[in-house]
Amino acid sequence: MAGAPDTTPAPPAPIRRGVRPATFAGAGYPVAVRIDLHSHSTASDGTQSPTQVVRAAADAGLDVLALTDHDTDRGWAEAAEAAAEVGIELVPGIEVSTLHHGRSVHLLAYWPDPDHPPLRDALEEIRASRRARVPVMLALLAEHGIELSEDDVARASVGTSAPGRPHVADALVERGVVEHRGEALARYLQPGGPAWVPRTGIELVDAVRWIREAGGTSVVAHPWGRSARDVLGRDTFAALAAEGLAGIEVDHQDHSEQDRRDLRRLADELDLVVTGASDHHGRGKRGHALGCHTTHPEEYQRLRARARRLG
């Protein structure tokens, strides 16, 4: 009709590669923005340097990537530089190794100040316990006739400040004892295995609080993926939410379709953010390609709104 106002909705904003999504966040992230909130570099147990991970993320068509190495922020500066070069948004993160009722629980911290004293001290304590654990694993392997030296493990851990089972596993691969990291873990290093050494760590609820105090926000990583499932039910999530937990990583390779449906419902009930991510480790973990799971832009906006200290 001539003269009538045009009520046709505006077409969705085009995705402009090379433009940091934060620059048009005010109008909401276009739905097609691809966001992966969990990845690892050689700063912990990934096989790619922070620069390589960021470049691979851009090549995979991601617009936002969180680098979340275990218990360290060591990769952040390098990753931020690479992200600026390729034009993607980098979320500085840390996957903190915590314990809840004695079970290992991984907690993703986003945008925290890593120098906030309680958080900094906790991360240092975890890294010290990681370093102390390596010789114990080696002694147990020796009891089973496998001679591996600390130098062998050091060679497999160049660049990392959080040595762990994956590096011992890589040293076993290098020695020709096993074919790949997963086999080493399954045969020797998993709970109940001949060289299994439990990790000491900080309490989950303390970590949630320290991350919040450090200006960041937290998401429980793959809560039902491994051994911690039975200690991570509704009551625990409700208690953690009261301490400042922002979300649950729902879409993850280690979760079944049913897990995802149940976790999504739980998140909905508790008003927690739902995230999805690859948990990419380079060649270190099969089936975790960058972008294989992603976080919805609206959920990402909610997550950002929970952090006091962005960038």
Q: Does 281 bind ligand AMP (CB under 6 A)?
A: yes
Check the CA dihedral 210-216-221-223 and report its sign: positive
Q: Are 92 and 110 in contact (CB under 8 A)?
A: yes
Phi, psi (rounded to 5 degrees) for 282: 65, -130
Q: Which of 71, 73, 279, 299 binds Zn ion (CB under 5 A)?
A: 279
26's CB contacts (< 8 A; 6+ apart) are: none
Q: Does 45 bind Zn ion (CB under 5 A)?
A: no
Q: Does 181 bind ligand AMP (CB under 6 A)?
A: yes
- CA dist 82 and 163 (Å) reads 24
Q: Which of 36, 45, 89, 299 binds ligand AMP (CB under 6 A)?
A: 45
| Shortest Å, Cβ 40 to Zn ion | 6
Phi, psi (rounded to 5 degrees) for 86: -90, -5
Amino acid identity of 187?
R
Which range of residues in 55-63, 182-190, 213-221, 246-254 is near ligand AMP by CB under 6 A? Answer: 182-190
Q: Are 47 and 56 in contact (CB under 8 A)?
A: no
Q: By CB under 6 A, what part of segment 84-123 binds ligand AMP?
A: 97
Which range of residues in 13-21, 137-145, 179-187, 252-260 is near ligand AMP by CB under 6 A? Answer: 179-187
- Lay out the site mask for Zn ion across 89-118 (x = CB under 5 A, - = otherwise): ------x-----------------------
Q: Which of 21, 75, 92, 164 binds ligand AMP (CB under 6 A)?
A: 164
Region of 244 (left: φ > 0; alpha: ψ -120 to 50; beta: rest) is left
| Shortest Å, Cβ 249 to Fe ion | 9
| Shortest Å, Cβ 204 to Zn ion | 16
